[in-house]
Amino acid sequence: MNPLLEADGAALPARVKIVEVGPRDGLQAEAAHVPTPVKIELVDRLAAAGFANIEAASFVSPKWVPQMADGADVMASVTRRDGMIYSALTPNMRGLEAAQAARVDEVVIFGAASESFSQRNINCSIAESIERFRPVAAAAKAAGLRLRGSVSCAFGCPFEGEVPVQAVQDVVRRMLDLGCDEVDVADTIGVGTARQVAGVFDALATVTPLSRLSGHFHDTYGQALANILAALQSGVSIFHASVAGLGGCPYAPGATGNVATEDVLYLMEGLGIVTGIDLDAVIDTGDFISRAIGRPNGSRVGRARLARRASGGARS
């Protein structure tokens, strides 16, 4: 019997959490400035669609990421809902203070599983990055904020190629030791494949319950949904996704390519896995943001469903 059909040990999670990262990780990659009201409407539409966790802002220096300079304005205007977690990147104490002032629910610290990527991306070693984040993490926990750690290059590094599983285990452990409630295991360059994903998550299950880890997959090599299926088979139940595939234009060669939320939701619906999210509302939201920023819709489900609606056809 195909293990996907087994009801016992190999069964998939009954419910997953989808963390919508489009408003931050997605829009951050856009060259042209996205107006603040558009960002606010994007977040509000996503919240209305049923997401319980939205990565909405980044309190980094506007010199580094000008697109994210209006994070406080976005957070000041989005509709608050009971139980909703708005997340924001906080690279340092100044960022944390801004996030607190903006009443963010969860702050995100970040590191890499590859030394070369850590050096090039945040200009310090992995060990140094952990030490830099230690006071941020402590202050966030003291303030009662939820804390998330993000581990990039967990499935491959643009400079080092393969990344040893032990390196991923090590940085995940350090993030948990800092007090992270949840740690993202990210395929930053989208090179991972299914069996590798299974191996990494099975190895991480010896470090922590998988309920504290999320899978963050990019579709650069078209592997994201197969990798999510593989991660589900390990027991992972939190996944990141970006509405309309925001974050690297899917039509540009070599684009980064966050996996599109609509495509992930379609997969989950087919698997009978509960997400609590209204796919049609997300498709509408993907259409809204793609038009608002003049970008092709990067979701295949979005494109297919919107075309079907436009034609009035019966194709499902």
Q: Segment contacting a second copy (CB under 8 A): 4-12, 13-21, 31-39, 122-130?
A: 4-12
Q: Give the separation between CA 298 and CA 270, rounded to whole angstroms.
A: 20
C-beta of 197: minimal distance to a second copy in Å? 8
Q: Smaller CB distance to a second copy: residue 144 or 313?
A: 313
- Write each residue from 200 to 219 as x if it is in contact with a second copy (CB under 8 A), else as -, in one continuous string: -xx----------------x
Q: Is 124 a catalytic residue?
A: no
Question: Which positions from 128 through 187 interact with a second copy, judged by CB under 8 A?
Answer: 156, 158-159, 161
- The DSSP symbol for 276 reads -
Q: Give the separation between CA 148 and CA 106, rounded to whole angstroms.
A: 7
C-beta of 303: minimal distance to a second copy in Å? 4
Q: Which long-range contacts (CB under 8 A, 24 or more apart) does 127-133 make?
A: 130/171, 130/174, 130/175, 130/178, 132/92, 133/109, 133/178
Q: Give the separation between CA 92 and CA 15, rounded to whole angstroms.
A: 34
Tell me which of 132, 141, 146, 300 binds a second copy, using CB under 8 A: 300
- Which three-class secondary structure string do you get for 136-158? HHHHHHHCCCEEEEEEECCCCEC
What totals of helices (H) and strands (E) does the chain contain, helices first? 11, 8
Q: Smaller CB distance to a second copy: residue 229 or 292?
A: 229
Q: Smaller CB distance to a second copy: residue 73 or 269?
A: 269
Tell me which of 106, 184, 263, 284 binds a second copy, using CB under 8 A: 263
Q: Smaller CB distance to a second copy: residue 249 or 292?
A: 249
Tell me which of 83, 222, 294, 312 binds a second copy, using CB under 8 A: 222
Q: Smaller CB distance to a second copy: residue 142 or 310?
A: 310
Tell me which of 49, 198, 241, 244 binds a second copy, using CB under 8 A: 198
CB 287, CB 245: distance < 8 Å: no
Tell me which of 91, 95, 190, 286 binds a second copy, using CB under 8 A: 190
Question: Which positions from 235 through 254 interact with a second copy, judged by CB under 8 A?
Answer: 251, 253-254
C-beta of 37: minimal distance to a second copy in Å? 27
Half-sphere exposure of 195 toward its Cβ, with a 13 Å CA cutoff?
A: 0
- The DSSP symbol for 55 reads E
The CA-based dihedral angle spanning residues 48, 50, 52, 55, taken in that order and rounded to the nearest 10 degrees: -60
Residues in CB range of 241: below 8 A, 6 or more apart = 18, 19, 20, 21, 22, 258, 259, 260, 261, 263, 264, 265
Q: What 3-state DSSP class applies to 17?
A: strand
Binding residues vs a second copy (CB under 8 A):
1-5, 10, 156, 158-159, 161, 189-196, 198-199, 201-202, 219-223, 225-226, 228-230, 233-234, 251, 253-255, 257, 260, 263, 266-267, 269-272, 296-297, 299-301, 303-304, 306-308, 310-311, 313-316
Active site residues: 249
